Amino acid sequence: MNTYQVAKYHGAQNDFILIDNRNGVLSPSALPKAATAWCHRHTGIGADGLITVETASAPGADLKMRIINADGSEPEMCGNGIRCYAKFVQDEGIFTNDSMKIETLAGVLTITVESKTEYESQIRVAMGQPILGRKHIPLAGDSEDHVLNEPIQVAGGEFKMSAVSMGNPHAVIFVDDLRDIQLNELGPQFAVHPEFPKGINTEFVEVQSPNEATMVVWERGAGATMACGTGACAIGVAGVLTGRLNRNVTIHLPGGDLKIEWPNDQSDVFMTGPAAFICTAEIVLS
């Protein structure tokens, strides 16, 4: 039985366990086991995922981030997680600059710490350009077409879906009233729908104005969460492309607000939001 030093952070109440793994204290094969054990809400620390700091291999990157969901699966990216990662590496003195380039499975992303206190920072992330071609998101089929307001049958009902990848796949469903959405019923059925060969993160969105929307989310590998940063970015993109939202918007998530900017169709999507320290801990893995 080994003991590990970890920390816990949250971004808009999307919570994560973080560990400095540059010296390989957790082997690649141990990561799923550690994530499922430590993220358990009753027998572990409790979190939506485990994030590790790794030595970068991509040219120009300062560090590398890996994230393992609470169920042991590995997503391509996590918007709230990468903000927590940035605060963690500053708090631990691993990388102290306010601008950093972090390698992820979705590419090398640029992060700027805009303000900070001992316990919370406001962090802006250049999340990369959205991926909009059907087969690249991916959805079923070999088309390069965009998927906007496309009908999909789930749980005996029809929904209008707009699909966006922010390095990981999202189905954005605009609805008139979020109170009508049974997230715990619909989310799992979207996640395993044959339309999505790699699964899907599903956002249900109610638009208040061209500058403001409210969302709930069901994430692959984590279920209903308090926030999803890549999902908020996907909503910003889908909202622009379907004429519902402006290019500068505030997205209200169950755990807090994120600012999303998409300056033009060829630009990166920018996400700004909080990352907050919760605690440090010593934990075992048998």
The residues near 285 (Cβ < 8 Å, ≥ 6 apart) are: 1, 2, 4, 30, 33, 34, 37, 38
Q: Which residue has the tokens 């320290």?
A: 277
Q: Catalytic: which of 39, 84, 228, 233?
A: 228
Per the annotation, the verdict on 228 as an active-site residue is: yes
Report how far residue 110's alpha carbon sits from residue 95's, in angstroms, rounded to the nearest whole number. 14
List the structure tokens of 189.
Answer: 């059925």
Phi, psi of 128 (to 5 degrees): 85, 175
Please pick, among 78, 84, 233, 279, the residue that the annotation labels catalytic: 78
**CA nearest neighbour of 149 among 157, 141, 158, 140:** 158
β-bridge pairing 201-209 and 169-174: parallel
Q: Are strands 14-20 and 49-54 parallel, antiparallel or unpaired?
A: parallel
Angle at 166 between CA 251 and CA 112, to 5 degrees: 70
Sign of CA pseudo-dihedral 31, 36, 38, 43:
negative
Report DSSP letters for 68-128, one per residue: EETTS---S--HHHHHHHHHHHHHTTS---SEEEEEETTEEEEEEEEEE-SSEEEEEEE--
Enumerate the H helices of the chain as residue ranges.
31-38, 79-91, 183-191, 229-241
**Is 78 known to be catalytic?**
yes
CA distance 17 to 9: 7
Place of tokens 């749980």: 155
Measured distance CA(14)–CA(16) in Å, rounded:
7
- Residues carrying an active site annotation: 78, 228
